[in-house]
Structure 1
């Protein structure tokens, strides 16, 4: 009876539980549905949050920049010594079963990890920018400003070294390329800030120069690793020919010897004529020519330029041609002769652009014959000097085409001056013919030929000192 009662008691309890469960089925199911819907909404919201975080334009651009400019990290000499010391400590801890050595090895590994992360994070986002002067001349010192920007919000950059490399890139494939490396150290680059440094350099030869990719590196904070970031801040510039000194007799090459009366007349010319522009003040200019309003606005003295009726016009042909294969002249000797001829033409152009009473027409007979017509202002002269900086002799003779272009501008020329790297009989024998029309080219009355290789230019020109 006792067992039966106990069973009945259990039976009744189960029955009561079943009844209570049956009664609570409806509210439990509705509560589960609400929780399920809430979880689904939370998951969708998290998914939208992650998708917005991943697909946000700013973060996408940031990730793209990081992948485009990866930072590479290498162990330095001190870092290899430090790693060897850690391996030695770990080996001693394993062999001797010393816990303190294990703790010491873990601490040193943590220092290596801190060095790696800080060193790599320091360089992310750094962007260099370079400022060059408007015109650069060979054998004349110029200044380059290098600016580095740190766009990060919180993390600064310390002990950042920026290394640049300038390469001489001539057009000729046989010419020797020369490079020079410059390294600048920026002690600190605060967040959202920029710092700049300047350095001076000199190029010895005219021609094309270019900057290779800028390398940014740092060893901060412990010097155990060095991180590198290659920045594609390439740039190029043209080194203009060096300007030498024209000797007093150079005017005789264009129009004969000037008498004393003519010299006094040219020096006593006033500012009569038609005003057409401004130029920078030079020693010897009359104070009456100063344009005070423009000088106050620009911060430097500017003088008026006048178009005069008695302006002289000079016509010059620069003939650059490679020597024949049978010639004993080496490549270095020819390049020196070629540079001397180009420097004389550049000096004449610079002298005429600085004066106020003459114009120059220059025909360049090189690998790509061109003609510069009526050069008179400094702006025109700057473009001409850039062209002379890249003038190189080619395999073909460019003199006939240059003379044909010059004949198209001037039907008749009184005096024609040719500055050449070869003798006259090699270029004009028996006569020079037009490349487009089968006829002789002869539009000058007097032809003056200067062979630079035979030092015929020495009485009229003195080049600038190298270095």
Structure 2
């Protein structure tokens, strides 16, 4: 019994795999016409109505005539080029689709469709001789930050009524990165520490470069740190203590819960602030981590960071509070010396303080708040500086002041 069921499932699966491509050729309009033909012919047979014979045969004839348009095969080589591949929101981006006939005979005129973002560009490719090529140019809308897919290129065969439609895929999608608007900041404008040997912290350690004090020798101490002159004068072995130093590490925390943003424009301003700060930190050579609700951004280069920022979208956070998100997102990151919080006007100022308390007293925390309804200014919340911005142009001046 089990073998019979397995064989039946296999035959059903294989049969459907063979029938499905043929059924996909019929469009929604084609299925409607087919149903009308069947219903009309059935009524004509049952009731003997001649009018329905005419309707049914006309619909069936339309389908038969449409079938003639879907047969045939091309051998194209299609390439899609975008110039440039990366633009800033609002800049012009152009694309080019090139079709080459690789068949041994002349091709017939073909309609080519190219999805571009949420739209579709249509081109009529004329008949091409063997080896001939045809180019078409198209513009890509870049009003907003996004990752726009151009492609895949599809050739379309079908009738003018759209009853039957057969498509063939000729290329892979090509991505266009529309980067957020950014502003160039002065070096270390956001309170960053540019150091060679490290940043001194208040943590005491037995081995480092920043001298702190002397203490009595204990078994296991490194003899290289014995201060012999003081030991000889006091008669007791004394060893040096040091203040721990560490390489500057900056972390940008971006709560992306949509409830913290008034609208999409405010969210875009927050992403532009994040991208501007991140770009300057990378140029300064400071170690950087950027975490958002759905992803951690690459920070090896400015281009990689801006590419990843194109994929940021407001989300419904799975965390109960921004503090929980910040804790989970930074759990495996190096301890930061500076934390920047970038969000919208809907996040309460108390949540900025809650995130600040996650990190030790050695960590400097700054808040950046996109607020289109409020004037740009610097606020202080329990000693924490929060920069409120209603335009990106104010970022450089306020970041310089907060430092």
Q: Give the TM-score of the pair, scaled to structure 2.
A: 0.52
Q: Give the unaligned 5+ runs of structure 1.
A: 1-65, 75-112, 168-178, 257-310, 434-438, 463-467
Which residue matches 1:164? 114
> For each residue in 1:80-129, what CA deviation from the matched residue of structure 2 results, as whole angstroms up to 9, or x when unmatched?
xxxxxxxxxxxxxxxxxxxxxxxxxxxxxxxxx9x997x76776344533
Q: Give the unaligned 5+ runs of structure 2.
A: 1-20, 30-64, 194-246, 377-387, 398-403
Q: Select which of 319, 337, 340 maps to 2:255.
A: 319
In 1, distance between residues paired with 2:78 and 2:334? Answer: 50
In 2, distance between residues paired with 1:224 and 1:441? Answer: 66
> For each residue in 1:41-71, what CA deviation from the matched residue of structure 2 results, as whole angstroms up to 9, or x when unmatched?
xxxxxxxxxxxxxxxxxxxxxxxxx979979
Deviation at 1:347, TM superposition (A): 2.8
Which residue matches 1:12? none
Which residue matches 1:253? 190
Q: Select which of 392, 408, 411 maps to 2:335.
A: 411
Which residue matches 1:335? 264
In 2, distance between residues paired with 1:225 and 1:423? Answer: 51
Which residue matches 1:446? 364
Which residue matches 2:239? none
Alignment of 1:15-414 (within 5 A): 124-126=74-76, 128-132=78-82, 134-158=85-109, 160-167=110-117, 179-211=118-150, 214-216=153-155, 229-232=166-169, 233=171, 235=173, 237=175, 239-246=177-184, 251-255=188-192, 314-323=250-259, 333-353=262-282, 355=283, 357-366=284-293, 368-370=294-296, 372=298, 375=299, 380-396=301-317, 397=319, 400-403=324-327, 405-406=329-330, 408-411=332-335, 413=337
Structure ID, larger Rg: 1
Deviation at 1:387, TM superposition (A): 2.0
In 2, distance between residues paired with 1:443 and 1:393? Answer: 31
> For each residue in 1:364-392, what CA deviation from the matched residue of structure 2 results, as whole angstroms up to 9, or x when unmatched?
232x25264xx35xxx3333223211222
In 2, distance between residues paired with 1:116 and 1:408? Answer: 60
Contact kept, 8 Å, 1:314 with 1:358, in 2: the verdict is no
Q: Figure out how many residues of one structure are paired with residues of the other and give that number.
A: 269
Q: Residues 410 and 312 from structure 1, CA distance in 2 versus in 1: closer, same or farther, beyond 3 angstroms?
A: closer
Q: Give the TM-score of the pair, scaled to structure 1.
A: 0.45
Deviation at 1:200, TM superposition (A): 2.8
Q: Residues 231 and 139 from structure 1, CA distance in 2 versus in 1: closer, same or farther, beyond 3 angstroms?
A: farther
Contact kept, 8 Å, 2:184 with 2:396, in 1: the verdict is yes
Deviation at 1:452, TM superposition (A): 0.7
In 2, distance between residues paired with 1:143 and 1:242? Answer: 18
In 2, distance between residues paired with 1:412 and 1:351? Answer: 17
Contact kept, 8 Å, 1:217 with 1:227, in 2: the verdict is no
Contact kept, 8 Å, 2:158 with 2:166, in 1: the verdict is no
Q: Residues 243 and 141 from structure 1, CA distance in 2 versus in 1: closer, same or farther, beyond 3 angstroms?
A: same
Deviation at 1:230, TM superposition (A): 1.6
Deviation at 1:361, TM superposition (A): 1.0
Deviation at 1:210, TM superposition (A): 3.7
> For each residue in 1:181-210, what CA deviation from the matched residue of structure 2 results, as whole angstroms up to 9, or x when unmatched?
323343442124433333232222233444
SS in 2 for 1:460: helix
SS in 2 for 1:349: helix
